[in-house]
Structure 1
Amino acid sequence: MAISQLGNLPIETLLRICQHLAPDDLRALALTSKPCNVAAIAQLFHTITITINAESMRDRSSAFQQLFARLSCANHVRRLTVVDEPEYEDEYPWADEGGQEEGEGDGQENPPRPDERSAAFWDPLGELLQSLPALSDLVWASLRPFPPVLLAVLHRQLPSCRLHLQKFTFSQGKVEENATEELLTLLSSPNLHSIWFRWTLRDSNGKDNHTFEAVTRIIQGVAPNLREVKSQWYRGNSGGRFGTGPRKPFQDFVPEDRFPKTCGALERLELMGSFHSALPDLQAWCEITDFEKLQSLRVHMGIDRVNITFLARDCQLTSLKSIHMYIPSKDISDLVVEFLGNLPALESLSLDGELDRRSLETVLERRGPSLRVLQLEPEGMSETRLVMSNDDLAMIAAQCPVLEELAVYVRRTKGDEREVAGYKILGSIPRLHRLKLHLDTSTIELLRKQDPTNPEEETPDDPSFSESDRQLFNTETTSETHHQPRNGHVRDTFINSALDEALARSIFAVIDKSRAQSNSPQRRALEELVLVPTGGGNFGDGSWLVSINNVIKEISRHWHLQRNVRDDKRDEIVVKLHESWEVPLSDEYWEPGLYERVETIYHNLWPAKEQEAVERWKGSWRGEWFSFPLATD
């Protein structure tokens, strides 16, 4: 369709198109016709962001209001995000996992500057709020306390706008001094929808931290419409540098007569922190908020036997639609299976950590028909970890008819017919349109079962190996308790680990072609594929060969492939390196060149290029490798 004809489309269609366009494309579209201008502006101004700064906040607020008046677009703004200036922000951003080390920034509430205590400082932001009649979400991503003047605007003019406090902190001392009533007015606001907070028992300055206790009290009868809580534990003063005495008891700042304790009604709960940190008692959480009303539960901390037992046997999660959980140990596998079997029909299930095959079987048997999102991403290198065989993939395809997103581990086998068959099975899942594959290139079964006390025991052989392949790969001095892989094992590891753009495109094409051959009326095109090689160089004896590590890092590239959203370019696949791939250090940080044995294996696979190519790469081996193609029919 010509650009000039876009304006003839229904406005609903134009709005849908604009949702898929980048900002620069939206601006270009806005210049083509009046209908396109209306649709593009609606998307361009859907979300706006303003930074708290005494010098620029008034100017930016005024500029927005003038723009809204000129373009008549104030009604299109649905989300306003307020952030701190960079020098004011805390040092530790929100993350999906990991505790913070002692001594790092605690993200505690910074004291307001003198001019910020006056209502006049916030007037520009208040005026901006008043000019946004259709605002549905106000995101306060600032360490500053939420100003009472802005809360008054919400109560007076935007009663249905949801308030999200994304950096909430609590100071017992401040509440005792002068801010109790203002804080209670904020926390009991019907606008308050979500709270994100970070907590520890004692911060790195040695001060007792009671943010956790404060938030749990807020949930219990203070915030009537609070529906989402995201908690992140960090280590704080775990080492006791600033004292190891008992913490001062939490002083409840909420009057019981005004806000009697009742069970909360959260719909979304996230508990984050180090996977090795102790998880807050889930049974206690069940008394804080009604778990029967939870629709989404994410546990990013190590869950122990007591908590998984409670979830499996004593907890009612009747409204749950989405769960994401980290399983730290196979010692609780029986309870995990029991828990999964008792869950209601889920739309999304994500499990990380120590996963075994029984978890997969239970998930597919009990929850497969309703699942739209399935992510099974084990960690560690045990022989029983959950790496999908073709039979497993076929079971997923058969039992998950409405599956749309999938993330699993599959084994690379040098691109042979078995590996290609696995990709074809994935392509047979009719509604699958987003796929993440961890390509397992390890050979942990090779040396795992050998007796470390018997150096005479030989490394397993392969009948397909040549004489040079059978030689032990012994470039490094290792202890007598460590056996060595053979040259052929190292060569095969290189073949499996090498993932260039051409191979990434081939994998996408095999999956996509299998989908094209499906006759299912629910068939959808594969829109997105992420490929992550992992485990290369792990031969199962607990050691990593430094001599091949830099080669593995270089050739194990992570790729993100995405279908072009344009109707006239749907066959075009956009490929780029995925953000998770870490660019290896250049040769100047390593030994010049490769170890002799590594170089022999490497150049047997990838002969050195002609001189001009070598010169282009300044003599580096990094420009010589390529992936081996997939087997064809």
Structure 2
Amino acid sequence: MSSKDLPVEIVEQICDCLDRNSVFQLALVSRNCRNGAASRIFHTVSIRLTSRETFRESCEYADSVLASPEKSRQVRHLRVFGFMKGDISTRGDWDTGSSTRNRGVEIPGGVFTDTANCERLIRIMLQLETLRDFTWGIVEQIPSRVLRLLHESSPLTRLHMPLFCLKNLIVSPKEPIRIDPHELELATSPCLHSLGQIHMHSTERQGLVDYNASAVFEIVAGAAPNLRKVDICINPVGPLSGREWLPGTILKDHLVSGSHLEHLSISTLHHLTGPTDRSDAERMGSLVKLRGMMDISALRTLRIDDSLSASNVQWLTEECHFPVLESLDLDLWDVYNAEEMENRLNSFLLSLPPLRSLKLCGRYFPSTVPLVLGHSGRTLRRLNLPMPDQYEVAGTNSDPDLWAFADVNLIRMIHQRAPSVEYLALCIQRSAGDAKEVAVYRELGKLRSLRHLYLSVFHSADYLWHGLYTQQYHLASEDYMAESVDLVVSLAVDEALVGSIFHTIASAKTPHAAPLETLQYRVDALEQQCGFTSNYDWIKLLAYFARSLECSRNLRDDSPQQCFVEEYQRHWYQSPYDERSRLEKDDAFHKWVDEYYMPILQKVWPGVEGRDWMKKWHSFPLST
């Protein structure tokens, strides 16, 4: 059977296994493929709201698309969002939770206080007879008419609120706790499927108390009967001042069906260990409290961003049971009890069922990765192993853990034990593109299922880790010149180099292997020295050309190893272009470069003079 003869239903099932770019590619194959892919291409309609003007423009565009009944019948998801790149309803993991959580910006006066704007949105919703998911990704509260329309839908549309906040629960400490009827309806909505709790940072400065954290506990405990995903991002134990939140404030007039939470992401300021006696109850950690309010054994996804100690991990092992857990994201600490932490962590990981996704931040150990691959390798689809945090010793940073850098042996182990890994994040040691470094890239290409690769790039230069900044005056001397040149050559990362790395990995793929879809090449070597914001001009100089880039595969069948490259923006509010522009105009910086570092630059790029190195610098090709 040729692609022209494939039934539309079969094409739709194929699309369910593809990412969005691949769906577009499939739609070009034949008319049947185009018809089958349409349901995925028009699956989501997004309305951006960064101003009243952008909202109206987005609504007008959506109206033009939905004017076709054929297209409107394909829509399953409607998103109203501000500055966020994603939301809790569309993420398959919690890797981006902290980076997208608080991007909502409230427009003064509100947008939906204007009846006409509310009518625009409702008109679009009424056209979507097959709507199944609705994301409200802005700080302004969802209008009561919109919420009522969701409640009237059959079957109920799932409501996702990544910026959840009940505004009337932010009050003066002297005011009684009263819940607005509309916000009570929202908190107990049968449509509410996922929420991300935001921290209104201005409340404390205004002398107000935010009771939202306490309210979320009751919502999780069953006030919202169909809630499945929660991202708790602030200290949810209770206000430090003001009136006490009484249990049942939300639940008292509502039937409770019990918690059905499946995905929990939690970040607090409290330790997770439980109290030693009843008088310590107020200091219980959030997970301990939640454990008493919900069936924690039903969780399939767990993310704890809490700098866990060895005793915390022991509590998770002994007091909790996760029989259906599939995805785990932990932030580990306790660097001064390394041996105990290693034993506790390994025991906890072995107590879990085989995982599909694992991320270990903070502090993990050489024995941990082989143990994980042995226990969960056959089921792993996502494996994220960033550089273990370095800790201070006598006022300096310790050397990086060399075992944490991915080498050929580690990648072979992943190949043998975790053959189905599709997303992989590793840290590597850049060494001017020599044969050893290239061997790592080629070995990565042998991972047959690998589609998305994240490489966190470091360098082994001692003065990057020890903070011996007095050497910056002598970096061009005979004692340090070779090391300085090697560092500059290694950290000079541009589009040509990362494109070459993508090609090296992609060309090592065997026939019929999954293509490499994306490569994120992030230079983290200067993170501890603060990059552009460092107090040292040598670090600023390195930051100018130590660029982080993202590659995405060309969708053309005749160019499977080509990619499109764009710069990675580390912080959503901070553009690398702006940082470099400021540095280019900094006369004091250029004076330092001319006086101390120009011999190094001329050694790397012969012929550069004055400020022209900023235009003439380039990366160096990989070893063949």
Q: TM-score, normalised by structure 2?
A: 0.75
Q: Provide the residue aligned with 2:383 in structure 1.
A: 374
2:304 is the counterpart of 1:307: no
- Which letter maps to 1:620? D
Question: Once the 2 structures are TM-superposed, how far is the Cα of residue 406 of structure 1 from its aligned partner?
Answer: 0.8
**Residues 355-384 of structure 1, C-alpha deviation per residue, up to 9 Å, x if partnerless?**
332222322222222111111112336335
Secondary structure at 1:437's aligned position in 2? strand
State the partner residue of 1:524.
514
Alpha-carbon deviation of 1:139? 1.4
Distance change >3 Å, CA 328–CA 252, structure 1 → 2: same
5 Å-filtered alignment, 1:512-551, equals 512-516=506-510, 523-535=513-525, 546-551=536-541
Identify the residue that residue 197 of structure 1 maps to in structure 2: 197
1:624 equivalent to 2:624? Answer: no
Query: What is the rounded CA distance, in whole Å, between the counterparts of 1:124 and 1:78 in structure 2?
Result: 19
SS in 2 for 1:421: helix
Distance 1:513 1:359 in 2: 31
Q: Please say if residues 47 and 59 of structure 2, whose CA atoms lie closer than 8 Å, have aligned partners that are also in contact.
A: no
**1:391 counterpart = 2:406:** no
What are the equivalent positions in structure 2 for 1:307-456 lying under 5 Å apart? 307-330=312-335, 331=337, 332-378=341-387, 379-380=389-390, 382-383=398-399, 385=401, 386-444=404-462
**Are the counterparts in 2 of residues 48 and 80 from structure 1 also a CA contact under 8 Å?**
yes
Secondary structure, in 3 states, of the residue corresponding to 1:283?
helix
Residue in structure 2 matched with residue 158 of structure 1 by the alignment: 154
For 1:427 and 1:356, locate their aligned partners in 2 and report how far apart those are by CA, in whole Å: 26
Shift of 1:532: 2.1
- Matched to 1:573, the amino acid is C
* TM alignment of 1:437-476, pairs within 5 A: 437-444=455-462, 475=473
Q: Secondary structure of 1:511's partner?
A: helix
Identity among equivalent positions (%) equals 23
1:397 match: secondary structure = helix
Cα separation, 1, equivalents of 2:40 and 2:449: 30
- Which residue identity lines up with residue 194 of structure 1 in the other structure? S
Note if contact 2:498-2:549 (Cα within 8 Å) is conserved in structure 1: yes
Q: Name the CA shift for 1:161/1:402 in 2 (closer, same or farther; >3 Å).
A: same
> What runs of 5+ residues in structure 1 fail to find an aligned partner?
87-93, 239-243, 453-471, 478-482
SS of 1:567 mapped into structure 2:
coil
Q: Give the corresponding residue for 1:594.
A: 593
Change (3 A) 1:256 1:625: closer
**Cα deviation 1:505-534 (Å, max 9, x = unaligned):** 332333233323xx7x6x222222222233
State the distance in 1 between where 2:454 and 2:61 align.
Answer: 43
2:241 is aligned to: 246
1:249-268 map, 5 Å = 249-252=244-247, 254=249, 258-259=253-254, 263-268=258-263
CA-CA distance at 1:132 after TM superposition: 1.7
Contact 2:492 2:618 in 1 (8 A): yes
Taking the TM superposition and a 5 Å limit, the aligned residue runs for 1:221-240 are 221-233=222-234
- Extract unaligned runs of 5+ from structure 2: 85-94, 273-282, 391-396
Letter in 1 for 2:485: R
Match of 2:568 among 563, 578, 585: 578
Query: Hey, what's the Cα distance between the residues in 1 that align with 2:491 and 2:271?
Result: 30
Task: For residues 53-96 of structure 1, give each alpha carbon's deviation from its aligned partner in whole angstroms, at most 9, with x where no partner exists.
Answer: 9999899869866864554433122112235799xxxxxxx974
Alpha-carbon deviation of 1:629?
Answer: 3.1
**Deviation (angstroms), 1:213:** 0.7
Deviation at 1:257, TM superposition (A): 5.7
SS in 1 for 2:508: helix
Aligned partner letter, 1:317:
F
Q: Verify the 8 A CA contact 2:48 2:54 in the aligned structure 1.
A: no
> Counterparts of 2:464 and 2:539 in 1: how far apart (Å)?
18
User: Does 1:76 pair with 2:74?
Assistant: yes
Are 1:608 and 1:624, in contact at CA under 8 Å, matched by a contact in 2? no
Q: 1:507 aligns with which of 489, 501, 506?
A: 501
Using the TM superposition, give the Cα deviation of residue 285 of structure 1 relative to its aligned residue in structure 2, in angstroms.
1.9
Larger deviation: 581-590 or 280-289?
581-590
| Distance in structure 1 (CA, Å) of the matches to 2:246 and 2:107 | 19
Moved more, 197-206 or 158-167: 197-206
TM-score by length of 1: 0.75
SS at match of 1:301: strand
1:296 matched to 2:301? The reply is yes
1:606 to 2:612 alignment: no
Give the counterpart letter for 2:399 in structure 1: E
Change (3 A) 1:545 1:557: same
Indicate how the Cα distance of structure 1 residues 71 and 369 shifts in structure 2: closer, same or farther if over 3 A, else same: closer
- Whole-angstrom CA distance in 1 between matches of 2:139 and 2:539: 42
Q: 1:68 to 1:557 in 2, by over 3 A?
A: closer
Bigger mean CA deviation after superposition, 218-227 or 42-51: 42-51
Alignment of 1:54-203 (within 5 A): 68-83=66-81, 96-97=97-98, 122-170=118-166, 171-172=168-169, 180-199=180-199, 203=204
Distance, in Å, in 1 between the alignment partners of 2:179 and 2:219 is 16
State the alpha-carbon separation in 1 of the partners of residues 495 and 112 from structure 2.
56
Shift of 1:266: 0.7
- Give the 3-state SS of the residue equivalent to 2:421 in structure 1: coil
How far does the alpha carbon of each residue in 1:530-555 deviate from its partner, in whole angstroms, 9 at most, with x for none? 2223326989xxxx893422331122
Q: CA RMSD in A?
A: 4.8
Aligned residues: 566
* Contact in 2 for aligned 1:323/1:349 (Cα 8 Å): yes
Q: Greater CA radius of gyration, 1 or 2?
A: 1
The residue type paired with residue 554 of structure 2 is N
- CA distance in 2 between counterparts of 1:342 and 1:495 reads 45
CA offsets 1:267-303 (integer angstroms, 9 cap, x no match): 1111247899999432212223222111111223333
Matching residue of 1:480: none
Moved more, 217-226 or 329-338: 329-338
Question: 483-492 or 156-165: which moved more?
Answer: 483-492
Alpha-carbon distance in 2 for matches of 1:62, 1:502: 40
The alpha carbon displacement at 1:265 in A equals 1.6
